[in-house]
Amino acid sequence: MTPFPLNLEALIGQWPAYLVYLGIGLAFGYVLEQAGFGISTKLAAQFYFKEMTVLKVMFTGIVVAMLFVFLTAGLGLLDYNLIWVNPTYLWPGIVGGLIMGVGFIIGGFCPGTSLVSLATGKIDGLFFALGTFFGIFLFGETVPLFEDFFHSSYLGRFTLMELFNTSTGVIVLGVTLMALAAFAFAEFGERIIGRMPASAFPRWRFAAAGGALGLAALVAVVGQPTTETRWRWLEPALQPKLDARVYQIEPLELLELMHDHAVNLVLLDVRSEADYNRFHLLDARHLPLADVGSAVDALLAEPANTVYVVMSNDETAATAAWKTLAAESVPNIYILSGGVNGWLAYFGGEDVAASALSAGAADDTLRYTFAAALGARHPAADPNRDLYAGREYDKKVQPVAVRGAKSGGCG
């Protein structure tokens, strides 16, 4: 289901996609100019509550985008996990916002609107744009002096839903009401301080406000898909591939990946803590099956060349974890074929083979015994690749970079 967002470059090619991006940029600039965002006095007037066009236009854009993003996500038309959300660095973000706000008041522009002004031949826009480029250069030359602070208070993909520990619908409805209250306050300032006539406020704005509230209520009613729902949407396409063992990789392939420096390999061990402590592969992360869903945001933040390999003692728990991650759009996920038991059977040697339990052991239990909790200190945790050179296996891992943009900007 969830066909959006589209991978435009994969659909039409790189250069045609660039032309589309250029067209979007030109259209955005045109809209900003038509809204008066190329005039510094109009932009600065918002700070004196005389002319609140900036607040109205930007807040309208934010609210409309929010409503349709979460409505389409709730209906299964859009995959929200594939939309890039800027990570939160709390204190650097606050300081940066204060610096930009002061610059906005003094210069009358933000970086994006200064380029709009420059494009229409305004001198003040030219000087502000030059100042922006100088600031970028100065930041690049001095960032080592405050780099620790620049990367401090990292919260990841932190949204209002996490902050208030509530549902998406409640947040969408609350933000919509907050926006409408801000619009009402803005109009009050324009009437009293800006002395705008009543004719400057069209009646259709009430219908627009009602429509926004209606959409917000619809988002709250529809809700957002659960992991189980998302898997049901994907199951017809993915379950046959699981059954055909497309995603189950052999121990030899995993051993090669462990020595492939072009790949950011993330090993996820979903077994119990006791089994993990007895033995686990080198650099494997312990991620209990019950916690897999809560780790999705952190996993999505990994680099684009990341390959994830999930493992349990056999394959039952690993397959369940794989389904959760696949449903949440984590890319490049594979399952260790045969699990840790299969790995030990292949690389464990005679000592491990001699400790094998009876064939009647329950499914997904560790079938080998260890005298102590060795963790990754056992030789089988990091086998010597040279001893297995030349052995053939069916290669299945095909990393695909699917991450969104790694930056954002101001309009």
Is 164 found in the same domain as 255? no
Boundary-marking domain end, from 187, 202, 226? 226
Is 260 found in the same domain as 199? no
pLDDT at residue 188, rounded to an integer: 92
pLDDT at residue 275, rounded to an integer: 95
Residue 398 located in a structural domain: no
Is 15 found in the same domain as 100? yes
Is 269 found in the same domain as 218? no
- Domains held by the chain: number: 2
The answer to whether 334 touches 247, Cβ cutoff 8 Å, is: yes
Residue 147 located in a structural domain: yes
- Return the minimum-mean-pLDDT range out of 29-38, 107-116, 399-408: 399-408
Residue 393 located in a structural domain: no
Is 235 found in the same domain as 208? no
**CA–CA separation, 400 and 77 (whole Å):** 22
Pairing of strands 333-336, 88-89: unpaired
Boundary-marking domain end, from 226, 261, 294? 226
Domain boundaries, position 195: 8-226
Angle formed by the axes of helices 111-119 and 123-142, nearest 10°: 140
Q: Is the pLDDT of residue 8 over 90?
A: no
Q: What is the mean pLDDT of residues 188-197?
A: 91
Residue that the structure tokens 């996500």 belong to: 73
Is 132 found in the same domain as 120? yes
pTM: 0.83
**CA–CA separation, 193 and 191 (whole Å):** 6
Q: What is the mean pLDDT of residues 54-69?
A: 92
Q: Assign residue 271 the CATH number of its domain.
A: 3.40.250.10
Q: Is the pLDDT of residue 180 over 90?
A: yes
Burial class (CB in 10 A: 0-12, 13-18, 19+), 133: exposed
Is 219 found in the same domain as 242? no
Is 115 found in the same domain as 54? yes
Residue 156 located in a structural domain: yes
Residue 54 located in a structural domain: yes
Provide the residue count of the chain: 411
Is 240 found in the same domain as 210? no
Residue that the structure tokens 């909790």 belong to: 373
What would the two tokens of residue 270 be? 């979903």
Residue 402 located in a structural domain: no
Residue 91 located in a structural domain: yes
pLDDT tens digits along 307-348: 999 999 999 999 999 999 999 999 999 999 999 999 999 999
Residue 47 located in a structural domain: yes
Is 181 found in the same domain as 56? yes
Is 242 found in the same domain as 181? no
pLDDT tens digits along 124-171: 999 999 999 999 999 999 999 999 999 999 988 899 999 999 999 999
Q: What is the mean pLDDT of residues 205-218?
A: 96
Is 251 found in the same domain as 126? no
pLDDT tens digits along 213-268: 999 999 999 999 999 999 999 999 999 999 999 999 999 999 999 999 999 999 99
pLDDT at residue 290, rounded to an integer: 95
